[in-house]
Amino acid sequence: MIEADDLAARELPVYFGLGSNLGDRLGYLLQACAMLYSAPGLARHAASRVYETEPWGLAEQPAFLNCVVRAQTALDPHSLLALAARIEGALGRDRAVARWGPRTIDVDILMLGDAVVDRPDLMIPHPRMWERAFVLIPLLDLEPGMRAPDGREIGVFVQDLPDASGVRPIRADLQGVFSGAENRLM
């Protein structure tokens, strides 16, 4: 485990959780992926399949489309947070909406290698990711053998989640978002 202050210039995998349930949901995911692809300091991108998921938190809202994007980076956690906020702002995210409410786009930093960040404005790993099938199932697309910090395989968490059946893959062609031999979109 790496503390945030010990990250200086280390290249680590970063995982972003993306979600949208307003307007052109797939279009917002595509735009967010494109913005991550073109962001300085991120390289070797890959994305999970896109999943349609039931809303989490506030049930009376449209279904979400979700995916997870992985990249390599030496950026510090707060630079990654600023990048996520810029993408959300550029795609019309309204922060005045209730927590867990509808949004054009949500960009969460899920993990940054094995770094741990515990600050008032940022927690990595994302503190609620282990309870969310809409995060863990796409993450398994990218990292089938990934383990949580406590050593358990992520698949074990998914088996224990009551909402896992509400996470359904959709047919979505994201092939044009990332390019290069090391990039993969499922």
pLDDT in tens, 135-151: 999 999 999 988 887 78
Annotated catalytic residues are: 93, 103, 106, 108
Give the other-Cβ count within 10 Å of 183's Cβ: 17
In this predicted structure, what is the pLDDT of residue 6?
57
How far is the C-alpha of 126 from the C-alpha of 141, rounded, in Å? 18
DSSP states of 20-53: E-SSSHHHHHHHHHHHHHHSTTEEEEEE---EEE
Spatial contact of 20 and 102, defined as CB atoms under 8 Å apart: no
**Domain at 2-168, CATH from 1.10.357.10, 3.30.70.560, 3.30.428.10, 3.50.50.60:** 3.30.70.560
How far is the C-alpha of 75 from the C-alpha of 59, rounded, in Å? 35
Q: Kindly provide the residue ranges of all beta strands, DSSP E only, lying in 74-121, ordered along the sequence.
A: 106-112, 115-119
Q: What is the pLDDT of residues 96-111, one digit of tens each?
A: 666 666 888 999 999 9
Spatial contact of 41 and 119, defined as CB atoms under 8 Å apart: no
What are the backbone dihedrals phi and psi of residue 59, each rounded to the nearest 5 degrees, phi first?
-75, -25
Q: What is the pLDDT of residues 54-75, one digit of tens each?
A: 887 666 788 999 999 999 999 9
Spatial contact of 49 and 172, defined as CB atoms under 8 Å apart: yes
Radius of gyration of the chain (CA): 15
36/128: higher pLDDT: 36
Q: Using CA atoms of 121, 60, 50, 131 in order, give the dihedral in degrees to the nearest 10.
A: 50
Spatial contact of 91 and 105, defined as CB atoms under 8 Å apart: yes
Map out the domains of the chain as residue ranges. Answer: 2-168
